[in-house]
Structure 1
Amino acid sequence: MLGTTVGAGLVAGIGGALAGLLAGTIWVRRRAARRAALAAAVAGTELADALTRICDELRSGAHPAAALSGIDADGPTARDALRPADAALRLGETVPAALARSAPHPALTDDVDRVAAAWALSDRHGIPLATLLSSVATDVRWRVEFGNRVRAELAGPRATATVLTLLPVLGLGFGQLMGADPLGVLRDGVLGAVLLVGGTLLTAAGVAWSEHILASAAPR
């Protein structure tokens, strides 16, 4: 009898630990996704502002090297993204090649590639660099603003998904208040552990599917 009780308690403990691990993983991933989206928006805004400043200086007659020399004031992300171009101009190298070798913020990889392509196009065909970089800045800024609008509009559906995720927990709470003791069932040996882990897995699958649907609507 004692061995059975200990074994049942051990199984229930493992089931609870797995459920807690899954719930913690879901929470961490959602938090990381929100932070990544915010960081990408900040990085895009910094780069767009930096390119706009550079274009203004180029239009006022400044040399590209002089325009890029002020990147330290453009924010850390934009500075790191454009520093290879600044170094290339000071060392007499080609800017597109330097940008191609750079390792900018992951959210800015495509944008830096566009800057490199614009610079190469200007070098090859003599198109005003300010015009091309201004187009890149406008595109970057538009995508940041569009992403912010979409994420704001997805706040309602995301809140609904969160409420649906919490419904099983609320159900357990109401069950306890009604005297049905669902927590006792979940703690009661193998069957309870199976129900707990199975319910948590289904909830995790629902969260993952909801996040997939929401992510497919959000800009990348």
Structure 2
Amino acid sequence: MPLAALLGGGAGMLLGGPVAALVLAAYGTLAARAVLRRRTRRAADLAHRRDLDRLGAVAADLRAGLPVGGVLDDGEGRTARLARAAVRLADRTGAPLAELLERVEADARAADRGLASAAAQAAGARATAWLLAALPLGGIGLGYAIGVDPVAVLLHTPVGGGSAVAAVVLQVGGLLWAERLGAGPGRAA
């Protein structure tokens, strides 16, 4: 993220001065943060699905009478912890491990469906936040449409510069707030 801020700030300084540098540094940081968070979320989702698939495969192997070895020992997430707890419970009480693992898998998949439903309902709020963040671009386009140079006003006058900085602060704050509201219980920001 610091690299994105530095590149955005440098490009802004070359293209339009200090106000443009601040604006592009903020937007560059915001974009880099979004990309990194998306990659991290995708990797975590992939690992979680892999854990669930492995859990189902181990339960099927147990039902078929095959040895499982230490397949359940790796993993750090909630599902892996529950699987290890199921193994300990089966060892102590003699409960059927395959049934316990299937229940853990079913519970995790049900929780995933609930989180997916919550994310789908929060998508409208996120879309609204992005639309509101993009509205200033419409204002700039409208300014050009009526024959004014709004970018020159925003970048090279004290009132315009203050307005641009205030707009960026409000946009970034609004997007972070919307992200926090839409994060849901399974994905705290």
**Same fold per superposition (TM over 0.5):** yes
Instruction: State the percentage of identical aligned residues.
Output: 33
Residue type matched to 2:116 in 1? Answer: N
Count of residues in Structure 1 that have an aligned counterpart in Structure 2: 174
> What value does the CA root-mean-square deviation take over the aligned residues?
2.4
Q: Is the 8 A contact 1:19 1:196 kept in 2?
A: yes
Residue type matched to 1:24 in 2? Answer: G
Report the Cα distance in structure 2 between the residues aligned to 1:149 and 1:51, rounded to whole angstroms.
23
* Structure (1 or 2) with the larger CA radius of gyration: 1
Report the Cα distance in structure 2 between the residues aligned to 1:155 and 1:15, rounded to whole angstroms.
32
Q: 1:49 aligns with which of 48, 53, 58?
A: 53
Q: 2:18 aligns with which of 6, 14, 18?
A: 14
- 1:175 aligns with 143
Q: What stretches of structure 2 of length at least 5 have no aligned partner?
A: 1-12
Q: What stretches of structure 1 of length at least 5 have no aligned partner?
A: 1-8, 66-84, 87-94
Residue type matched to 2:114 in 1? Answer: F
Return the offset for 1:128.
1.3
Return the offset for 1:174.
0.6
Return the offset for 1:191.
3.9
**1:154-176 Cα distance to aligned partner (Å, 9 max, x none):** 33322221111100121122112
Q: Structure 1 runs of 4+ off > 6 angstroms?
A: none
SS in 2 for 1:61: coil
Residue type matched to 1:177 in 2? Answer: A
Q: 2:28 aligns with which of 20, 24, 29?
A: 24
Tell me the TM-score normalised to structure 1 length: 0.69
Q: Does 1:202 align with 2:170?
A: yes
Report the Cα distance in structure 2 between the residues aligned to 1:181 and 1:218, rounded to whole angstroms.
45
Q: Pairwise mapping of residues 75-90 of structure 1 onto structure 2 (< 5 A)?
A: 85-86=70-71
- 2:8 aligns with none
Task: State the structure with bigger RCO (CA 8 A, min sep 6), 1 or 2.
Answer: 1
Residue type matched to 1:180 in 2? Answer: V
Q: Pairwise mapping of residues 1-220 of structure 1 onto structure 2 (< 5 A)?
A: 13-65=17-69, 85-86=70-71, 99=73, 104=75, 108-215=76-183, 217=184, 219-220=186-187
1:154–1:36: structure 2 CA closer, same or farther, 3 Å change rule? Answer: farther
**1:142-196 Cα distance to aligned partner (Å, 9 max, x none):** 2233333333333332222111110012112211211233212112244433322
Q: Is the 8 A contact 1:165 1:207 kept in 2?
A: yes
Q: Is the 8 A contact 1:45 1:140 kept in 2?
A: no
SS in 2 for 1:154: helix
